Structure 1
C-alpha cells in the first residue's frame, strides 16, 4: 500500500515539475531603461534623480523639469512606502541635502481636484496641514513639491519660476524571457513520459504481486463434449439389463 502511494505521489510531482518548467519559459521580468542614466528600481517603477555637475544637487524650473523627463514622466507618489523611498534616496543620492522635488501633479479646474499628469486620480495624499486648499494661492497656477526633510507636499506657484530638484519616473520595462530551444523542450517532455511509463509498469507489477495473482490468468483445459460411440452404447445397455435381472 505504501509503495502504491509512493508511486502516485511520484506521478503528481513529475507532472507538476513538467508544468512549471514549461510555464517558466514564458515568464516576464521587469527592468529599468539602459540609457546611461542611473535608474533606481522600486515596486513596478524606476526612478532617476537628476544630478548636476559632480553628482551634486541642482534645481530646475517646472518647465525645464518636464523637458528633462519628457520621454518618461515627472515623479508620482501613490503610497506611503513610495513616499518614504523617494525621501530616503534623495538624501543619499543628493549628498544628504535638504532638497525639494517637483511632483508630476496639477490642479484640474474642470474636476476641481488635483490630478497626476497622466490624468489619474490622487489616491494617496501627504499634504502639509491645510496646504491642499490654500486660499491665498490660485489653484489654477499651482504646482506641487515634495520636501525631502519632512516628506510632506506643498503648493507653490508655477508662474513665479521657482526651482526645485527633479526626479524622473517610468514603469519598469517588461522583458520576455527567452524561450528554451524546441529540442530541449522535446527532450524534457520525452524524458518525463519515459519516467512515467516505467513507474506505471513497476506499479502495475507490484499490484499483481501484492494480490497473489500472476501476470496472466491461468486456464484449465476441458475437452469438447462428444457423443458416445455405438459399442459404448451397447455396453451401457448390457450393464443396465444385468442390474435389473
Structure 2
C-alpha cells in the first residue's frame, strides 16, 4: 500500500482536529478565508507554518512535509479481494452498483513506518494519536450514526479509526464539517453536492438531515463462499507504536 494514501488520510484527520479545536473567532476567520478557495486556503492557514520557501502556499512550508510515511510492508496475495460498491441510504436501503474495487480483506494488518522531523512542531506522535482517537468518534456522531444499519451489516466500532482509500466517501477527504455548527455544515454540503451532482437530488439533503445522503458499504465474500459480511468501506483502525 502506498504511504501517500495513509498520509493523505492523516492530513484530513489532523486538520479535523485543528478546526475542531479552534475557537469561534478563528472559525469566522476561516469562513472569510474560505470564500476564495475553501480547502486550499484553510489548509495553508493551519498547516503552512514553516518558512522554507517565499510563497506561503508552497508545499515546502507545510508541516506535513516534515512527516513522511513509508509504503507498507509487503502484503500477502490472499489479503486482496474485489468488492462491490454499495450505496446505503439514511433508511438503510441498499443501492448495489455494477462497480467493483480492489480492496484489502477485513482484518488485514498493514505496517508502515512514520517518521517525524523536528520541523513538525506540535504534530508529534502524541498529537497524531489524539487526532486519530477523536476522529473516529466525531465521524460516528456527525455522519455514520445518522444512517440505519443495512440488513446483515456489521455494527462498526470507530474507536481509533480513520477513513482510508478511494471508496471511503466524502468524510475521508473533506474538512467541510469540522469547525462549523452542524446545520451550517449540512446546508453548505447539500448545496455543494447538488451543484456537483445535479442528478442525485442532493437539494433534499437538508430536509433529510444528512449530506451526502449515502454511506459507502461493500459486501465481502469469504473464500470458497463460506459466508459474507457487509461493512463500511475504508474503516481502518490505527495503532501507533513509538520507537527510539
User: Under a length normalisation based on structure 2, what TM-score does the superposition of the two structures give?
Assistant: 0.21
Of structures 1 and 2, the one scoring higher in RCO (CA 8 A, sep 6+) is: 1
TM-score (norm 1): 0.21
Bigger CA radius of gyration: 1
